Chains A and B, each alone.
Chain A
């Protein structure tokens, strides 16, 4: 059952840092710390409550994508530590390769549902433009990362993909530096550069979600019962399952 809790009423600062006078932040480090604490205080970074409207299956898919990314990274590390041909000669290697493949499939499935969900929720509202943009960029960079993975299978699939994909990249002038038939170069992209890029953009995306909070429903109004609850904490209402709180 989802329990409803009263909104925090204590607006007082939580740390000494926030009560410190401006003069105490005189170094770059101190100023950076002040900015970080102001932008994303610990209680926003790691909250124990969320607005009552954050109750839908659609919210599961963002976390599902992050969980899939964790499985992708772990299975990818095991594969890369054993070398690119290990999975062709070892049944365990083939199984790990399968987990890498299926975690990627789940990752994209969750990501696409998350993306469409956020579109229909117009999640860019209320100053969340950069959150939306980082979400779309992480999707695009993930496609590049997955593509380079297909080039590293060292089997017929990678042979064909490298032959087929070169034309679009060459036509755009990219192929001269991003040579899909150069396995050494693709390894660099797939196991280092692109995973770092995906992880960094996803991390930024998650931090932005924490900074701005989860967007409120379209047409949410001040007169809504749920908003009045904050003003009248003794008011009894029903929770998300319909029970009286």
Chain B
């Protein structure tokens, strides 16, 4: 005796849903529908494009940052030099800073991936770019010859002094023992203002470049990029990437992902990124497996929206 299958099951069974339809048919032209669909959608797209266009806010550069907010640039350069910036303490895939990864219990996927894109912020963001100048500052030699303790003490002291200075302006910094740090950060500021830091960071001296990792990370370590994004309602606590510059719909399909970042306890979690990503992946898998889950797969029968969809069919029964 065959086992009775639920009418909401995905299994083929002997029900009408699992057999060829033997009732009345209607004429249907697949190619005609596709042609009409393409024409209608094309007209809709052209109309929307003509009326609403698309946003194109110019990218910001290290040059525009150094020119408009030199104080923020120098504060960030000092942090890169001293290894105290967000990137310096990020962990994999950029460096191996211990205790910096996002984990769920013993699950540490970030460490598992390893340091695949190695970045030494002091060397890669400050010292090496300065070495490309026609006349590299002599302070590089002083910095390189110093011990790591001396370097840390100089950048820590200079960072505190910059915090106290009006507008973080290096020219307003009180006198102190900062070693070669002011000379290095000021040289980098000048280099950035002239526009040469952008190309050096992007291409590392090569002609071609397709990789903007260093520039993006350096920019993101400062307040400049983040403040601009917040002004354009793109911040993580403003539904972040789901939005788009200007009044455009953006990636509205990311609403669920962005929603978790807006509510407690998720938004305050130190491992929020990993937790939210895992939840969204789990929910996607759940949606995929709805037909296999008793109860969930019966919702369409309990909430009779199908009566509206097939109202002609039910009317003719």
- Using a CB–CB cutoff of 8 Å, the interface residues on chain A facing chain B are 2-7, 46-56, 58, 60, 63-64, 66-68, 70-71, 75, 87-88, 94-95, 97-99, 101-103, 105-106, 108, 112, 117, 119-122, 124-129, 132-133, 136-137, 140, 143, 146-147, 150, 153-168, 170-177, 179, 181-185, 187, 213, 215-222, 224-227, 229-230, 237-240
Whether A98 lies near B28 (C-beta < 8 A) is no
| Complex partner residue of A218 from B24, B220, B306, CB under 8 angstroms | B306
Q: How far is the CA of A60 from the CA of B33 in the complex (A)?
A: 9
Q: How far is the CA of A176 from the CA of B310 in the complex (A)?
A: 49
Taking CB atoms, residues of chain B closer than 8 Å to A215 are 17
Whether B309 lies near A171 (C-beta < 8 A) is no
Whether A94 lies near B22 (C-beta < 8 A) is no
| Complex partner residue of A67 from B38, B52, B241, B289, CB under 8 angstroms | B38
How many residues of chain B get a CB closer than 8 Å to chain A's CBs?
111
Q: Which of B67-75, B121-129, B152-160, B206-214 contacts the other chain? A: B206-214
Taking CB atoms, residues of chain B closer than 8 Å to A157 are 55, 57, 244-245
Whether A176 lies near B17 (C-beta < 8 A) is no
Residue among A68, A173, A176, A237 facing the most chain B CB atoms (10 A cut-off)? A173
11 CB < 8 A contacts A-B? A3-B26, A5-B26, A55-B313, A146-B253, A155-B56, A155-B58, A156-B60, A158-B59, A160-B234, A162-B212, A168-B273
Whether A122 lies near B21 (C-beta < 8 A) is no
| Complex partner residue of B109 from A4, A143, A173, CB under 8 angstroms | A173
| Complex partner residue of A167 from B40, B59, B248, B273, CB under 8 angstroms | B273
Whether B216 lies near A159 (C-beta < 8 A) is yes
Least CB distance, A99 to chain B, in whole angstroms: 5
Q: How far is the CA of A64 from the CA of B232 in the complex (A)?
A: 32
Beyond A120-B309, A136-B288, A164-B236, whether A7 also contacts B7 by CB under 8 A is no
